[in-house]
Amino acid sequence: MKKTGILMPVSALPSTTGVGELGRASYQWIDIMKENGVKIWQILPLNPVGYGNSPYQPYSSCAGDEIYISLDLLFEAGLLDKKPDKFRENAKRVDYTAVRAFKESYLREAFEKFKAKDGQNDPAYKDFISQEWVYTYGVFRALKLENNGDCWNDWKPEYKNWSGDKSALSKNVEKEAEYQCFLQYIFYTQWMDVKKYANEAGIEVMGDVPFYVGLDSVDVWSGKDNFLLDTDGRPIFIAGVPPDYFSATGQRWGNPIYDWDYLKKNKYKFWVDRIGYSNKLFDIIRIDHFRAFDTFWKIPASCPTAIDGEWIEAPGYEVIDTLNKELPGVNLVAEDLGELRPEVLELKDHYHLKGMRILLFSIDTKGKYARDISNDIENVIFYTGTHDNDTLMQWYDGLTVAAKRKVREFLKKQGIKAGNIKDRLLTYVLKSKAEYAIIPLADIIGLGKEGHINTPGTVGSPNWEWHMVDFKKAKEELGRYKNLIMNR
């Protein structure tokens, strides 16, 4: 069955607090998708963002970012005395630092009310925090606060190598850890309510799991043996990709490399736990940088760029076999973009995983005529673009006059003649054989540079900051494509 999806980060949802939340707007968005026949909501990672506000450098693989907690829902639950003030309600960019500062007092008030109501003895709460990762994450965040936000490998030895002994923690650290556990419980509760609403509306949620984890994360701090680190907790090798379309010096991500020998001895428990928890949160799991299950680019940590490195084979078949055995029915899709060796596609096809096809990279305008250089096949997800690309209109507007003409003529030869160029390009994607057609909301609306989410190889503002003021344009434009979406 063919399905249409929309890529829309939670952070970009309209709100009264300057960042998307798991409150009223999430439900409104689901209603809009349902009304127009959309069957998949693809999001970006929801984990607590760290360096550069990138969701691909989070503090945890399991935890959710408290920035998405709906303050209005806390008020309705009786955990706030008064309805929260509005803050940056009409902001077109997310100011993460300002929003966190604004929300902090409300979240701490909610925690005190929760304790006063004896919420910590609620069976649902006790069940949630009984998960091993929750308290460990709480301690990690508390110790980060205690250490002025420094990376864990710069902490004092007793904190850097904490063994799990609560008696080694100060009262302040323990209280802060409890607060962080509370935030995770609220996030989880609000998110699962949103997911349930989406599922009841016939919509699947596609989550996003980065292949690597951030160095400054609870994953590495509490699981050092899973990574190639020196005795000081610093990476010996780091992840990235060699020079490519995006960068002449490659991309030096800085994530630590896995110790695959150790992971194998432990039956890939790290991956089973990580994907297993994501399997609770999402219906479909997109593995970012899937190619690293086949071969990964291993860069000496001393190298300032990603030019010097080597391709190393990874035990992808063993890992995915283990995931399928331990997590029956897990629904994975593979981000398989870029220059790949054939073995990557063989690995993906062995498990019948859907890969990705990007319109912006598919239409070649170099020759006399524009042509589609990718294969129009069924078991694939066809995107106009992703969070890492120019928006559709930004791409088209950047073409030469001759290239634009070739694109229009190409679409005409496909029998697509009606509407403006955006309409015709979206029609081409929606009429493809691909089982899933997923379009970023910015492309549905027709945004240019202002809708660009991230530029690979760059850090910080304006990446990850795109934010919608309201749904008016989204409703109008989605409504125009409703018949195409419904009749895929």
Element spanning 112, H or E: helix 96-116
Q: Has residue 187 been placed in a domain? A: no
Q: Is residue 468 part of a domain?
A: yes
Mapping DSSP to helix (H, G, I), strand (E, B) and coil, where does residue 83 land? coil
Is 288 catalytic? The answer is: yes
- On the question of pLDDT at 245 being above 80, the answer is no
pLDDT of residue 276: 98
CA distances from 167 to 92, 134, 178, 182, 210 (A): 46, 18, 15, 20, 34
Catalytic residue among 21, 273, 294, 388: 388
Q: Give the residue-averaged pLDDT of 110-120.
A: 96
pTM for this one? 0.96
- The number of beta carbons lying within 10 Å of the beta carbon of residue 319 is 20
Annotated catalytic residue, options 95, 216, 273, 288: 288
**Mean pLDDT on 298-313:** 95
CATH code at position 450? 3.20.20.80
Is 175 a domain residue? no
Span 90-106, average pLDDT: 97
Residue 120 in domain: no
pLDDT tens for each residue of 431-481: 999 999 999 999 999 999 999 999 987 889 999 999 999 999 999 999 999
Sign of the dihedral defined by the CA atoms of residues 337, 58, 51, 186, in that order: positive
Count the Cβ atoms, other than its own, within 10 Å of residue 120: 15
89 domain-assigned? yes
Radius of gyration of the chain (CA): 23
Query: Which residues form the domain of 247?
Result: 3-103+194-487
- Does the annotation mark 76 as catalytic? no
What's the pLDDT tens digit per position in 254-285? 999 999 999 999 999 999 999 999 999 999 99
Average pLDDT over residues 47-68: 94
Residue 89 known to be catalytic: no
Share of residues in the chain with pLDDT > 90 (%) = 93
Annotated catalytic residue, options 66, 95, 208, 335: 335
User: Residue 376 pLDDT > 90, yes or no?
Assistant: no
Q: Is residue 117 part of a domain?
A: no
d(CA 419, CA 400): 21
- The reply to whether 150 falls in a domain is no
Q: Do the domain assignments include residue 156?
A: no
pLDDT at 206: 98
What is the spatial order of strands in the sheet that 295-300 belongs to? 251-256, 237-241, 295-300, 310-313
The per-residue pLDDT for 210 is 95
Q: DSSP letters of 251-314?
A: EEEEEEPB-HHHHHHTTTHHHHHHHHHHHHH-SEEEEETGGGGTEEEEEETT-SSSSS-EEEE-
pLDDT in tens, 386-439: 999 999 999 999 999 999 999 999 999 999 999 999 999 999 999 999 999 999
Task: Determine the pLDDT at residue 50.
Answer: 84
Number of domains in the chain: 1
